[in-house]
Amino acid sequence: MGLLLAIILGFLAALIGGLYLLGVFRQRRPGEPPLDKGLIPWMGHVLEFRRNTLKFLERMKRKHGDVFTIQLGGFYITFLQDPLSFGSIVKESRERLDFNKFAVQLVRKVFGYVAIEGEHNILHVASSKHLKGDGLEVMTQSMMGNLQNLMLHDIGSSGDQNSDRRAWIEDGLFKYSYNIVFRAGYLSLYGNEPHKPDGSEEKAKEKDRAESEALFDEFRKYDQLFPNLAYGVLTPRKRLEAERLMGFFWNSLSVQKMKTKDNISRWIWDIQQAKEEVGIKESMINRYMFVLLWASQGNTGPSSFWLLLFLMKHPEAMEAVKEEVVKVLNEFGQEVQPGGPLINLTRDMLSKTPVLDSVVEETLRLTAAPLLTRAVLQDMTLKMADGRQYPIRQGDRIAVFPYIAVHIDPEIHPDPLSFKYDRFLNPDGSKKTDFYKAGKKVKYYNMPWGAGVSMCPGRFFATNELKQFVFLMLVYFEFELKNPDEEIPEIDFRRWGFGSMQPQRDVQFRYRLRY
Ligand code: HEM
């Protein structure tokens, strides 16, 4: 009898412990944000969240207001949706709110990279040196050369004006834009085939084109598996495919391969060296090269698609950008002539394009939707701009989804779902930075790059890449939608939270050389 009682008590203790771990007993304490645990223990709302993050968070906001805590896969995450209060997260000390912990877990899960303590600083140092200022100038030049190789390699291959090199080429706009911008970005960061000692420059360029094409094809396969990989819900067959692809990238981007290349960016080079110096194994550095490929090339390509699409769907925007491009070329004494030298688009020229800047910003407002997450390391108080205060528990997470809270808030951006090319321009043509909510100026009025410690270090380079691509398209090509009346495709809702959005389907367009 005594034994039976002990077994029953043991079982009850285990059951209660299990339920406790599943979060069944967590109750909202006085003063805390509204708590919504969902119906499934431990998992909470994860299914609905994963199905369509935007819709789910909109529903939660309607139900609970601009601060609420939800249960997602064993974590309690407090969502802050008031942009006027973002400062309290962005500026909170790293002792209380940590970005890295979450990032380290994700990177381990989806890229197989195991980080060591304190190494994040390597990325910061290299990015400050090479993705800004003079370092950016070098990268931008390199990008220009690679874009020209990919987009214009057959220009002038026939001197005959009537030859069919001016024939229209039809393609998917998403496929085309992503392909070109990814490959040019990859070559600019990870280097080119050497053309010495035995080969010609043309042969090396041809090899660059072929190798980057093969890499892009594999990248797109991984890209499509990515959302389910990040949520840990791939089928075993797809999981195997993801592992094969990871192996392919670790090998293709390996330190040894890189040593055979010319023109590796200093950004990549310095990161490799610094990791070696702190004793990280070469096989791990190879894995990190894939993390960087993902971070640097997974967003810009999709953004370039939306950018060209919005221009084609909005003739007034297209006209304004074309006018600006011609003006900049004239100002810098450059002209595109059949058979003449290729234009040299410098960083100086790219800094004189306020209209294109506004178009880029507007495109990102509508199509970049990152989810910014921080781990709560100590009990803390979330202080809202209007004076409300909420205790937040150690071990929880805090998240911001700026797409709902800022990008499509009609108070900050009237008529928020429409593309307005001059939304970020003042009447005098300068950059507009004044946006308001409830009569108060909103500091974080567009957040495609995130904010605070984890803000995208590649944002200046990414902006230049987008501008260079559009510039070259406008200068060298005529292009149009195959069906000008075709609707702008919906966003692929499985990707909300993962940076630049992708369309649910491609859009056919055609292009041909102007000259
Ligand atoms: C349109 C293009 C891009 C968008 C929308 C974008 C967006 C973002 C966002 C939102 C984050 C922060 C994520 C977070 O806080 O959790 C981020 C991080 C990062 N981005 Fe970008 N990015 C773009 C292009 C680039 C490029 C071209 C590079 C490199 C050349 C780059 C390198 C990185 C890196 C290394 C991080 C991680 C930063 C860290 O761990 O501190 N990104 N990006």
Give the containing element (helix H, strand E) for 170. strand 169-172
C-beta 288 within 6 A of ligand 1: no
The β-bridge partners of 235 are none
- Ligand 1 contact via 89 beta carbon (within 6 Å): no
Centre of ligand 1 from the C-alpha of residue 458, in Å: 6
Kindly report the pTM of this predicted structure: 0.94
**Does the pLDDT of residue 156 top 60, yes or no?**
no
Q: Does any ligand 1 atom lie closer than 6 A to the CB of residue 295?
A: yes
Write out pLDDT tens, residues 476-498.
999 999 999 999 999 999 999 99
- Percent of the chain topping pLDDT 70: 95
What pLDDT does 515 receive? 80
Q: Measure the CA–CA gap between 322 and 334, rounded to whole angstroms.
A: 15
Ligand 1 centroid to Cα of residue 450, in Å, is 8
Q: What is the mean pLDDT of the chain?
A: 93
Structure tokens at 467: 């501008």
- What residue's CA is closest to ligand 1, atom 39? 454
pLDDT surpasses 80 at 12: no
Residue 437 backbone dihedrals phi, psi, to 5 degrees: -140, 135
Under the banding of pLDDT at 50, 70 and 90, the label for residue 408 is very high
Q: Find out whether 63 is annotated in a ligand binding site.
A: no
Top mutation candidate among 456, 464, 502 for ligand 1, by most atoms within 8 Å of CB: 456
What distance in Å separates the CA atoms of residue 305 and residue 207, rounded to the nearest whole number?
25
299 lines ligand 1 (CB under 6 A): yes
Q: Which of 89, 85, 502 is nearest to 304 (CA)?
A: 502
pLDDT (0 to 100) of residue 337? 83
Q: pLDDT tier at 286 (50, 70, 90 boundaries)?
A: very high
pLDDT of the residue at 1: 61
From the CA of 461, give the closest atom in ligand 1. 27
Q: Atom 7 (ligand 1): residue with closest C-alpha?
A: 449
Q: Is 299 annotated as a binding residue?
A: yes
Long-range Cβ contact pairs of 191-200 (< 8 A, separation 24 or more): 191/258, 191/261, 191/262, 191/263, 191/264, 191/265, 191/268, 192/146, 192/261, 192/262, 192/263, 193/261, 193/262, 194/260, 194/261, 194/262, 195/262
175 marked among binding-site residues: no
143 lines ligand 1 (CB under 6 A): no
Reply yes or no on whether the pLDDT at 162 is more than 60.
no
* Closest C-alpha residue for ligand 1 atom 21: 456
Dihedral of the CA atoms 472, 475, 476, 481 (nearest 10)?
90
**Residue 497 CA to ligand 1 centre (angstroms):** 13
Q: Which of 27-31, 113-117, 179-183, 445-449 has the lowest mean pLDDT?
A: 113-117
Residue 300, pLDDT > 90, answer: yes
H or E element that contains 508? strand 508-513
Q: Average pLDDT for residues 317-344, to the nearest whole number?
A: 92
Does the C-beta of 458 come closer than 6 Å to ligand 1?
Answer: yes
Q: Report the Cα–Cα distance between both ends of the chain, in Å, rounded.
A: 95
Confidence at residue 23, expressed as pLDDT on a 0 to 100 scale? 65
The pLDDT value given to residue 234: 94
Average pLDDT over residues 357-361: 98
Cβ proximity of 114 and 441 under 8 Å: no
Tell me, what's the pLDDT at 99? Answer: 87
Tell me which of 25-39, 145-159, 352-366, 419-433 is least confident.
Answer: 145-159
Number of Cβ within 10 Å of residue 129's Cβ equals 15
What residue segments make up the domains of the chain, in order of their start?
2-115+372-400, 120-370+419-443+452-513
Compute CA distances 287 → 63, 239, 272, whole Å: 43, 17, 11
Could you report the per-residue pLDDT of 368-407, keeping only the tens digit for each? 999 999 999 999 999 999 999 999 999 999 999 999 999 9
* Secondary structure element (H or E) that encloses residue 13, with its range: helix 2-21
- Average pLDDT of span 257-284: 96
- Does the C-beta of 473 come closer than 6 Å to ligand 1? no
Atom of ligand 1 nearest to the CA of 368: 5
Per-residue HEC secondary structure of 197-238 comes to CCCCHHHHHHHHHHHHHHHHHHHHHHHHHHHHHHHCCCCHHH
Which parts of 298-344 fold into alpha helices (H)?
Answer: 300-313, 315-331
- Of the pLDDT bands very low, low, confident and very high (cuts 50, 70, 90), residue 158 is very low
Q: Which CATH architecture has domain 120-370+419-443+452-513?
A: Orthogonal Bundle (1.10)
Q: What is the per-residue pLDDT across 20-63, written as a single tens digit (0 to 9) for each?
A: 666 667 999 999 999 999 999 999 999 999 999 999 999 999 99
**106 near 467, Cβ under 8 Å?**
no
Task: Please give the residue that has the higher pLDDT: either 315 or 336.
Answer: 315
More confident residue, 326 or 92: 326
- Name the band, by pLDDT with cuts 50, 70 and 90, for residue 75: very high
